[in-house]
Structure 1
Amino acid sequence: MIIERLSDARGRVRAGWLDSRHTFSFGSYYDPAWMGFGCLRVINEDRVDPGAGFAPHRHANMEILSYVLSGGLAHQDSTGGGGTIRPGELQWMSAGHGVEHSEFNASKTEPVHFLQIWVQPDRLNAQPAYAQPAAVEAKDGEFVLRASRDGVEGGVPIRQDVKLYSLGLAQGTQARRSLESGRMYWLQVAQGRIEANGRVLQAGDALGFADESGELLLTGSGDSVADVLWFDLPVVG
């Protein structure tokens, strides 16, 4: 089964300083048809005005990833984690048994554009944790592992049987990925334009794959380098 989630069909919330697109139900946006994809629970595309942001608030039992597309995102949390996330960086915060955090635009003059991603963990009430490794330089046509279960295969040590890759695709560049029927996959176009087995996808578009096998061919088809995220997920009941 292949699920298509187009950018314009996502939920949208505007709150003055915030313009947010929700791939799945979140906050005031609720659609019972879009409650998540396996253990992937949230992909919010947020644009935050200069100097504005999310005041301290609390989460528990969720793996939270922030991926900045442009600008800078200032983060602080009750684990002692903090810093400014820049384009190319993937920040991980495991809320565990409970953590309070805030995120603000680090600039007083420029907006920040980022994705916030939530993954349901494979354990409950663990010790909260935080990591913000250095930015990864995208290599054209190469999948780069950014997160894996407990970090044993590289990337941040997410507490779930998930592998998250980033991929850059210039116009005409191709990359291939094998699909296995015992896994679920989510393809998210963060920026740019690509084709996936001939299907055109723009920034914000996504495809989900469940009980699929074979090969997926991705081709860059825009004037700028496309920024793509690839989630390799466990099958959940």
Structure 2
Amino acid sequence: MIELRPFEKLGRFRNDWLNARYHFSFSGYHDPSRVHHGALRVWNDDEIQPNTGFPPHGHESMEIITYVRKGAITHRDSMGNHGRTEAGDVQVMSAGSGVQHSEWNAENEVTELFQLWIIPRIRGGKPNWGARKFPKGDRSGQWVVFASGDGGGDSLPINQDSKVQGATLKAGETLTYDLSAGRYGYLVVADGEVVLNGKTLKTRDAAAITGAETLTLEGVKDAELVLVDTI
């Protein structure tokens, strides 16, 4: 089953430095029909103004994946990690037994990013952070795994039977993905426009998928895609 979730119908939050859309219930936005999708608990679409961001705050027992769409985000945490993740690249923080961190837009332009939270298979454990570059050219017309439960290939490790992956698709090209029975898929178009199994998805639109499904994506405008496959 495929359920479209248009960008304009997502939850909303806005203040002087953050313009956010929520795919799932989060903070002051609550929709009982959109609390999670399998182990995927949060997908926030954030626009962060220059030289602002999330001050130090804590998390525990959550896998937090950040995909930067535009600009860059600077990370600092209580483990001593410090890094800057640019557009198209990914960072992962396993909060484990507890960690404090900040996410700051130190740029002179608006940063746009997706922040995903995945419920871990086991609570607690040692917290961890990592980041990696994923050149868009390497995922032209194919899926590349950004983060996964097995940490295979060049993917960043997460504590769950899940894969966070991406692809780019040119207009006129076709790409497929097989979601197995008992799995949950969540697809967001980071940029561009595609047709998914006959249904049009534009920039920042989403589709919630329950397996088993064969997804067929046709590029209408050059597109950048992010897909979660999880239990």
Quote the RMSD (CA, aligned, Å): 1.3
Query: What residue is the counterpart of 2:147 in the other structure?
Result: 147
- TM-score, with length taken from structure 2: 0.95
Output the amino acid matched with 1:84: R
Cα shift at 1:153: 4.9
Cα shift at 1:136: 2.8
Cα shift at 1:88: 1.6
Query: What residue is the counterpart of 1:233 in the other structure?
Result: 230
Contact persistence 2:194–2:218 (CA under 8 A): yes
Distance, in Å, in 1 between the alignment partners of 2:117 and 2:16 is 24
Distance, in Å, in 2 between the alignment partners of 1:164 and 1:27 is 23
* Bigger mean CA deviation after superposition, 180-189 or 37-46: 180-189
Distance 1:211 1:132, change over 3 A: closer
Distance 1:5 1:89, change over 3 A: same
Query: What residue is the counterpart of 1:117 in the other structure?
Result: 116
- TM-score, with length taken from structure 1: 0.93
Corresponding residue pairs, total: 230
Cα shift at 1:135: 3.2
Once the two structures are superposed, residues 20-71 of structure 1 have per-residue CA deviations (whole angstroms, 9 ceiling, x without a partner) of: 0000011111111110101001110110111011110000100001111111
- SS in structure 2 opposite 1:92? strand
**Unaligned residue ranges in structure 1 (runs of 5+):** none
Query: What residue is the counterpart of 1:133 in the other structure?
Result: 132
Identity percentage of aligned residues: 37
Cα shift at 1:152: 3.4
Distance, in Å, in 1 between the alignment partners of 2:98 and 2:126 is 8
Contact persistence 1:4–1:206 (CA under 8 A): yes
* 1:61-100 matches, cutoff 5 A: 61-100=61-100
Would you identify which runs of 4 or more consecutive aligned residues in structure 1 move more than 4 Å? none
Query: What residue is the counterpart of 2:198 in the other structure?
Result: 198
Contact persistence 1:184–1:209 (CA under 8 A): yes
Once the two structures are superposed, residues 165-198 of structure 1 have per-residue CA deviations (whole angstroms, 9 ceiling, x without a partner) of: 1010111111011232232211111111111012
Once the two structures are superposed, residues 105-157 of structure 1 have per-residue CA deviations (whole angstroms, 9 ceiling, x without a partner) of: 121x2111111110000011110001112233333211111111141354000
Distance 1:145 1:72, change over 3 A: same
Query: What residue is the counterpart of 1:164 in the other structure?
Result: 164
* Bigger mean CA deviation after superposition, 189-198 or 137-146: 137-146
**Unaligned residue ranges in structure 2 (runs of 5+):** none
Looking at secondary structure, tell me which structure has more strand per residue.
2
Contact persistence 2:179–2:229 (CA under 8 A): no
Query: What residue is the counterpart of 2:56 in the other structure?
Result: 56
Output the amino acid matched with 2:219: G
Contact persistence 1:87–1:135 (CA under 8 A): no
Output the amino acid matched with 2:199: R
- SS in structure 2 opposite 1:209? strand
Distance, in Å, in 2 between the alignment partners of 1:75 and 1:187 is 25
Contact persistence 2:89–2:133 (CA under 8 A): yes
- SS in structure 1 opposite 2:8? helix
Contact persistence 1:86–1:135 (CA under 8 A): no
